């Protein structure tokens, strides 16, 4: 049988392979280092950058989160804690039967993978382009619902309040589908520009 053992003798083929492996290192040693004077200078992130999370609202101010806890189940780092509660006729926070009464994300554990966003059935949870999350306090890195939910816009009403955009939660979800289709249309128009161009995700905007 042929001998497949690599030749490791000095000057043999194995020695040349080792030298080739350092080729990339030697080439980059003489390149100018790309230094960014952070925080005075900030390089823009990619349009689909995975940054800080946000909890979105419907256009009437109701919360999109229905407290289903699917995001917490999908999180591989066990960084999300959700506690749901029932909506009542007198106190309604979301169009569904339930809402997220308690919502926490532990950014000491979070790896910003985005699996929680993929698991969310109502697009309540999305990710922004904000990445400045460092802190020297553990308590400050456990973000609560009050910190994650987007601020009320001028045409929104602070919950709890009755449903304004339809009589059932299905009406809201159909509205969400229409808004998603409109966003995809806008994204397609933006993508027709220069290569790599795409829609920017602005923190605080309802999605």
Specify the DSSP element, H or E, that contains 100. strand 98-106
**CATH code for the domain in which residue 73 is found:** 3.30.70.3270
Q: Give domain status of residue 4, yes or no.
A: no
pLDDT one-digit tens code per residue, 79-109: 999 999 999 989 999 998 999 999 999 999 9
Is 206 part of a structural domain of the chain?
Answer: no
- Positive or negative torsion for Cα 157, 162, 164, 168: positive
98: containing domain? 53-177
152 located within any domain:
yes
Does residue 139 lie in a domain region?
yes
Only one residue has tokens 């220069």, namely 194
Is residue 103 situated within a structural domain? Answer: yes
For 17-59, the pLDDT digits (tens) are 777 778 878 888 888 888 888 889 888 899 899 999 999 999 9
Residue 138 lies in a domain: yes
Tally of domains in the chain: 1
Q: Looking at the domain assignment, is residue 98 inside a domain?
A: yes
Residues in the chain: 207
pLDDT tens digits, one per residue of 157-182: 999 999 998 888 888 888 878 877 88
């Amino acid at each position: 049988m042929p001998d497949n053992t690599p030749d490791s003798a000095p000057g043999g083929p194995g020695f040349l392979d080792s030298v080739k492996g350092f080729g990339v290192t030697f080439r980059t040693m003489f390149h100018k280092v790309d230094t960014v004077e952070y925080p005075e200078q900030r390089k823009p992130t990619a349009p689909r950058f995975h940054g800080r999370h946000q909890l979105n609202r419907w256009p009437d101010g109701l919360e999109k989160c229905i407290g289903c806890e699917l995001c917490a189940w999908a999180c591989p780092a066990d960084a999300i804690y959700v506690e749901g509660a029932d909506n009542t006729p007198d106190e309604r926070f979301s169009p569904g039967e339930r809402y997220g009464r308690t919502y926490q994300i532990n950014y000491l554990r979070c790896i910003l993978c985005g699996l929680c966003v993929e698991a969310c059935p109502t697009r309540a949870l999305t990710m922004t382009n904000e990445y400045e999350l460092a802190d020297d306090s553990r308590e400050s890195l456990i973000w609560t619902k009050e910190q994650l939910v987007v601020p009320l816009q001028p045409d929104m009403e602070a919950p709890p309040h009755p449903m304004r955009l339809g009589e059932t939660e299905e009406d809201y979800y159909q509205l969400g589908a229409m808004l998603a289709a409109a966003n995809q249309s806008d994204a397609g128009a933006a993508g027709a520009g220069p290569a790599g161009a795409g829609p920017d995700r602005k923190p605080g905007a309802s999605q």
